[in-house]
Structure 1
Amino acid sequence: MSSRIRELRRSRGLTLGQVSKQTGLSVAMLSQVERGQSDPSLESLRRLAEALRIPLFDLFRTEGPEPVAVIRHDERRLVSTPHRHLTYSQVSRSGGKVEVLEGTLDPGAASSESPRTHISEECVLVLEGSLIVELEAIDYALDAGDSCHFDSALPHRFLNPHPEKARFIVSVTPPSN
């Protein structure tokens, strides 16, 4: 991933200083990430993907998309928050027109500190537990088997105020930054 970030930054003609200004991450931190000396948090990866204008999981891609991709459960790419309260595993291939992620959200956790926006559509399907989809400050309660499809340009995030872990699938098209 570290060499991919450097390659993407350079291909866009961006300096570490420019990426630092766009992401709010220090030049030193960015340099360490590019050299493989630091593992960025999920939030840092989101900021980098936004600055580089690519979907988050494309940071991990090494080649163009395969015409057929079988992703084994134990070989999925994972990203998580520092304390692992939120974990996403990539179910779909990188570089495709749709991104499918399996997420787990711990009790009392949220997918982000504040609602986020991006230019996509999302559909979330709760597999286990319960989840709140917060859209423009309105809460939509979902139980196992329920889904919610929405325009990702609306400020949104996922919340789990319940005592058990929530497991869900999120499909995003086009893949988000």
Structure 2
Amino acid sequence: MMGERIRELRAARSMTATELAKAADVSVGLISQVERGITDPSLETVRKIARALDTPVFNLFQDTDLERVAVVRKDRRMDIRSPQGGLVYQRVSAGVGKIEVLEGLLEPGAVSSESGWSHPSDECVVVLTGRLVLEVDGERYELKPGDSGSFDSRLPHRYLNETTKPVRFLLSVTPPSY
């Protein structure tokens, strides 16, 4: 689905795969494989492609056939992986509407990004299992199961797992953005 959407957005902008690859600083082969559904790109690659297409990340996952009720089956969720590994997001929401909901799994010792990252949204994170460190604008907040943290995503932020066990969490982002 994402590959088809990227191809659709690229064509709407009259871009060739080569032009998109250059703008996103990735290989033409990778763009081709993603568009044909052969490979799933990393989260960092998805962000680069979204920037090159001048569209929010969520728009790459959006189904253009809007349904009145969108159901996402657990076994049909799309995985989004961090480029250095250690973090996997599964999109729980359908990719349409004004909110994006992700289920995250952060491996022991892993971080969501090497440094704080910002985008024009609001986020709310809820820890399901394990302990998560939420870092926002240089301040750290330790969250345990059932704890949540809400913040303005324009502030640099990231998630850290400083324990020896994986941490699972739900992340809601509104509006969906990159």
TM-score band by shorter chain is: 0.7 to 0.9
> Quick check: 2:58–2:177 contact (8 Å CA) kept in 1?
no
> Quick check: 2:63–2:95 contact (8 Å CA) kept in 1?
no
The residue matched to 2:96 in structure 1 has which SS?
Answer: coil
The residue matched to 2:71 in structure 1 has which SS?
Answer: coil
Q: Which residue is 1:44 aligned to?
A: 45
Query: How do 1:88-167 and structure 2 match up within 5 A?
Result: 88-167=89-168
The residue matched to 1:33 in structure 2 has which SS?
Answer: helix
Query: How do 1:45-64 and structure 2 match up within 5 A?
Result: 45-64=46-65
> Quick check: 2:62–2:94 contact (8 Å CA) kept in 1?
no
Question: 1:56 offset after TM fit, Å?
Answer: 2.9
Question: 1:113 offset after TM fit, Å?
Answer: 2.4
The residue matched to 1:2 in structure 2 has which SS?
Answer: helix
- CA distance in structure 2 between the aligned counterparts of 1:72 and 1:40, rounded to whole angstroms: 21
The residue matched to 1:89 in structure 2 has which SS?
Answer: strand
> Quick check: 2:127–2:145 contact (8 Å CA) kept in 1?
yes
> Quick check: 1:115–1:156 contact (8 Å CA) kept in 2?
yes
Mark the runs of 5 or more structure 1 residues left unpaired by the alignment: none
Mark the runs of 5 or more structure 2 residues left unpaired by the alignment: none
> Quick check: 1:124–1:149 contact (8 Å CA) kept in 2?
yes
Deviates most, 73-82 or 107-116: 73-82
CA RMSD of aligned residues (A): 2.2
Q: Which residue is 2:78 aligned to?
A: 77
Deviations 1:32-89 (A, max 9, x none): 4334454422210122123324343432334233221222222222222357521111
Deviates most, 68-77 or 53-62: 53-62
AA aligned to 1:142 is: L
TM-score by length of 2: 0.86
AA aligned to 2:170 is: I
- CA distance in structure 2 between the aligned counterparts of 1:89 and 1:75, rounded to whole angstroms: 10
TM-score by length of 1: 0.87
- CA distance in structure 1 between the aligned counterparts of 2:114 and 2:157, rounded to whole angstroms: 11
Deviates most, 1-10 or 54-63: 54-63
AA aligned to 1:128 is: T
Question: 1:10 offset after TM fit, Å?
Answer: 1.9
